[in-house]
Structures are given as structure tokens and as C-alpha cells.
Amino acid sequence: MTDTRLQAYADFIVAYSIRVQLGDRVIIRGLTNAEPLLNELYRSVLQAGGHPFYSLRFPQTQELALKYGSQEQLSITSPVEQYMVENFDALIFIQSESNTHNFTRVDGRKRMLLQKAEQPLLVQVMGKTATGDFRWMSALYPTEAYAQDAEMSLMEYEDYLFSACLSDMKDPVGYWKKVETDQDDLIKRLGSIRELHVIGKATDLRIGIAGRKWINACSRQNLPDGEIHTGPEETKVDGYIAFSYPSLYKGKELKGIKLWFEKGKVVKAAAEKNEEYLHQVIDTDAGSSYLGEFAFGTNPMINEYTGQILIDEKMGGTIHLALGNGYPQTGSKNRSAVHWDLIFNARTATEVFGDGNCIFRNGKFLV
């Protein structure tokens, strides 16, 4: 990775995504192996007049917690992170796993204890974001592990990631502002729809969205980005769906996931790999068996599966659903420690109807 791309990446996050203002207190959170990017972010926040503060972790931190931590220790919400959410203005979270399968052999129930402990923070962040009192964003730093999952060399992965994030290196802000405008127009055309009906391979699913708001995801909170999403009505999801791609959730890979819904709730679930873990996640809490999100991926630069959900959910022509916590700004009332995005390839043999009219066919909008 060149220094120029790192600098551009950091400056874009600080200026466009987080919009750092004079005096803002900004948390920069990440693993120590992302040091080059973390340092560029630190520099950029300083130059914008903000006050950067590191929240660093080591790659083995969670592994040590899961191996040696008691149930009581794993269930404690971090008071340090709670203080940051309550007293800081923004969070930049950099993902840079050096081993994406490091929790494959960990007891899923212990992993869910950590997840539940983080729920109060997640709810607080979502609530403050919805009112405009907090800004956050999550981005990837290229690692060998991510490249291996994508079956690419590290250099190839860097090129792929940066083309998805900063498609126009000369004017990335201008590029994403145009995306924002285009997606705003699309959202206006979808705004009055009360029910979506997805028909595709091993899939027939109806999703109520009456009164819910579509959100324009255009690199304000994710990098890479490119999607529009909303929050389904909690009790208005019926039918079944077979997801197209494997899912790596909290260090465990699942394949061949199928879900059946009745009145919003998952009533049956199956997977070809790690089915027991699928049920453990669904049973995490009262909200984890309901949907918190429905989305269309819109980024044309993302055109193949890489194994990293932050990239893959933005794949142009796909649909993704998230089990668990919803975004309050969409109108979602579902609250959960879980937010698990699962992707359906809608680029072939798929139609989506809005109130009975076909609005999307084989990866393309018709409205």
C-alpha cells in the first residue's frame, strides 16, 4: 500500500465521513497491526482541529478473554468504552483482522456473552447517531487474512479495496456526493412502498416496510459503502430465503443458511455448516430472531465475494438482510446484541415487487 493512498483514505474518513470540526473529541479504535492507517487518521484529525484519542487492542485480546474469562467477566460492559460514547463526539473504527477464523473452535455461547455485554453500547451509539449527537464510521485496513479469504494477493486486495472506497482518487468527495444524489433520487421513488416481495432461487419472502424510512449509505458510516437500507416492520416478515454466500460471523464461518419467517420471527433455520452456531446466534436475545434491516447493495466496483461483510454487503445487484438490531433512524424498533448481515445474490433469476409492481429484476432497478 502506498503512503499516498493511506493519506487519501484517512483524509477522506476525517473530512467527509466523520466531518471533524474544531474541538471535536474523536476515538480512533483498532488493532495494533493497522498502525500505519491509525497514525494517518491521528494526523488528519489533528490537522482538522480535532482531538484524537487512541483506543487500541491487540490481535489476541478477545481470544485471551474467551479462553480465561469467567461468565461474570465476559458479561461486563466496558465502563471505559461507555464513558467514550457518552463524552466523545465521534468514533472511527478500523477493522484489520490478522486471522478471520480465530474463533472457529470457541464455544459459541461464550462468544455470545461478549456480544450481549456490548449491547448497551450498541444501543447507545445507535440512539445518539439517530439524534445527530454522535458520529461513527467503520472501515477496513487490508491484511493478509482478508486477502486470503478473497483468494487474492495482498496487493490485489489493496487495489480492490481502494477502488471500492475511493473510485476517483482525484476527487473522492465529489464521487461520493454524486452517489449520494443518485441514491437520494432512488429513495424518493421507493418512498411510498408498503410491502416488498422478493422472489428468487429457493426464496419467497414478503417484508412490510410501511412507515419506515430508507437510508442513503454513501460512505458516511462505512468504507467501502454503497447501499440503501430500511428497517422492516417487526411482525410483517413472512416466507423463506436461502442466502447465496457463506457468512463469517464473529470468527465462525457458516454456509448454506436458510431461514423461514412467520409474523416477523425466524421459526426455522438451517445451515450446511455450523448450524448449531446459527441457532445460538438466533437465540441470543428477544430481538435476534427478528429482522433489523433490509438493503440493496449498489456499489458497481464491488462485483465478487471476498468473505468480508463490510465489502460484500455493498456488492452491486445484491440484497442483504440483517438479523437483530435495527437502526432507529429507519423507524426500526428491534433491539438486540446481534446485527448479522446475510447476503442474497439478486443478479440472476430474481424479482423484487413493491406493492405488487416489479421494481427490481436481476440486479437492476426498474423504477
Q: How confident is the model at residue 358 (pLDDT cuts 50, 70, 90)?
A: very high
Note the pLDDT of residue 171.
92
Is the pLDDT confidence value at 155 over 90?
yes
Q: Which range (64-68, 105-109, 133-137) has the least confidence?
A: 105-109
Share of the chain above pLDDT 70, in %: 99
Among 72-86, 213-227, 293-307, the range scoring the smallest mean pLDDT is 72-86
Q: For 330-347, what is each residue's pLDDT tens digit?
A: 999 999 989 999 999 999
The model's confidence at residue 4, banded by pLDDT at 50, 70 and 90, is confident
Region 300-310 average pLDDT = 94
Mind listing the pLDDT tens digit for each residue in 317-333? 999 999 999 999 999 99
pLDDT over 80 (residue 3):
no
Helix (H, G, I), strand (E, B) or coil at 196: strand
The burial of 131, by beta-carbon neighbours within 10 Å (0-12 exposed, 13-18 middle, 19 or more buried), is given as exposed
Interval 238-246 mean pLDDT: 97
Question: Can you tell me the distance from the alpha carbon of 34 to that of 36, in angstroms, rounded to the nearest whole number?
Answer: 6
Tell me which residue of 91, 90, 82 sits closest to 120, measured CA to CA: 82
Rounded Cα gap, residues 285 and 249, in angstroms: 16
Least confident of 39-48, 108-117, 194-203, 267-276: 108-117
Unique residue bearing C-alpha cell 464461518: 253
Residue 123 — pLDDT band, cuts 50, 70, 90?
confident
Integer Cα distance of 319 and 313 in angstroms: 8
- Decide which of 124 and 257 is more confident: 257
CATH classification (class only), 3-165: alpha beta
Average pLDDT, the chain: 94
Helices marked H in 222-358: 275-282, 309-312
SS3 334: coil
Helix (H), strand (E), coil (C) string for 95-149: ECCCCCCCCCCCCHHHHHHHHHHHHHHHHHHHHHHHCCCCEEEEEECCCHHHHHH
Q: How far apart are CA 73 and CA 62, in angstroms?
A: 12
Helix axes 3-12, 172-190, angle to 10 degrees: 40
pLDDT in tens, 177-186: 999 999 999 9
What is the C-alpha to C-alpha distance for residues 311 and 208, in angstroms, rounded to an integer?
27
Cis bond before residue 36 (omega within 30° of 0): no
pLDDT of residue 2: 54
CB–CB of 251/221 below 8 Å?
Answer: no
- How far apart (Å, rounded) are the C-alpha atoms in residues 351 and 361? 5
- In the structure, what pLDDT confidence band is assigned to residue 130 with cuts at 50, 70 and 90? confident
Residue ranges of the domains in the chain? 3-165, 193-365
Give mean pLDDT, residues 125-141: 91
Let me know if 177 is exposed, middle or buried by CB neighbors in 10 A (0-12, 13-18, 19+): middle
Residue 63: its pLDDT value, please?
85
Residue range 29-55, pLDDT digits in tens: 999 999 999 999 999 999 999 999 999
